[in-house]
Amino acid sequence: MSGIVKWCVAAASILALFGVDAGPAAAQAAPKRGGTAIVGVSVAGATLNTQLTSAVTPLIIADLWASGLYKYDKTGAKKPQIASSWDISEDGKVYTFHLRPNLKWSDGHPFSSEDVAFTLKSFGQYNTYLVKVLPNIDRVETPDANTFVVRLKEPQSAALEGFDKEVFPLMPKHVYDGTDIPTNPANRAPVGMGPYKFVKWEEGRGITFTRNEHYWDQPRPYLDSVVAVFIPNVQQQQNALYRGEIDVLRPALPQVGRAIEQAKAKHAFDVREIKVNAAERLSLDINITRDMLAKPLVRQALLVAIDRERISKDVYQGLAFPAMNAIPEQFTMLTDPSVDYNKQFAFDPVRAGKMLDEAGFALKDGKRFSLDLTAAVNADAFYAEPAAQLIAANWRAIGIEVKLSLLEGQLWTNKVFKERNFDVSMVSLTARTDPLFGVDRSFLCNTSNVPYVNPTGYCNPELDAIAAKAAAVPTPERRQWYKQYEEIVARDMPHLTLTNARKFFAISSRFGGIDEELDLAFNGNPSMSNVWVK
70-176: same fold as 3-66+194-276+503-533? Answer: no
φ/ψ of 341, rounded to 5, equals -60, -30
CATH class of 3-66+194-276+503-533: alpha beta
Give residue 26's pLDDT band: very low, low, confident or very high (50, 70, 90): very low
Average pLDDT over residues 348-364: 98
- pLDDT at position 10 is 42
Q: Is the pLDDT of residue 5 over 60?
A: no
First to last CA, the chain: 31
CATH for the 280-501 domain, from 3.30.2010.10, 3.10.105.10, 3.40.190.10, 3.40.50.970: 3.10.105.10
Contact 5, 233 (CB under 8 A): no
pLDDT at position 2 over 90: no
Q: What is the reported pLDDT for 19?
A: 56
Q: What is the biggest distance separating any 2 CA atoms in the chain, rounded to whole angstroms?
A: 74
Q: What is the pLDDT of residues 101-155, one digit of tens each?
A: 999 999 999 999 999 999 999 999 999 999 878 999 999 999 999 999 999 999 9
The CATH class of the 70-176 domain is: alpha beta
Gap between the Cα atoms of 270 and 514, Å rounded: 9
Q: Where are the domains of the chain?
A: 3-66+194-276+503-533, 70-176, 280-501
- C-alpha 237/C-alpha 42 separation (Å) is 8
Please state whether beta strands 495-501 and 320-322 pair in parallel, antiparallel, or not at all (unpaired).
Answer: antiparallel
Mean pLDDT of 11-15: 49
pLDDT in tens, 260-278: 999 999 999 999 999 999 9
Measured CA to CA, the distance from residue 59 to residue 68 in angstroms comes to 13
pLDDT at 43 over 60: yes
- What's the average model confidence in pLDDT over 415-432? 96
Find the length of the chain: 534
Between CA 534 and CA 484 the distance in angstroms is: 54
The answer on pLDDT for 24 being more than 90 is: no
What's the mean pLDDT in 20-39?
72
On the question of pLDDT at 366 being above 90, the answer is yes
Phi, psi of 112 (to 5 degrees): -150, 180
How sure is the predictor about 421, in pLDDT bands with cuts at 50, 70 and 90?
A: very high
pLDDT at residue 16 tops 90: no
The pLDDT assigned to 157 comes to: 86
pLDDT band at 3; cut points 50, 70, 90? very low
Bridging pattern class, strands 511-512 and 532-533 = antiparallel
**227 strand-pairing partners:** 38, 208
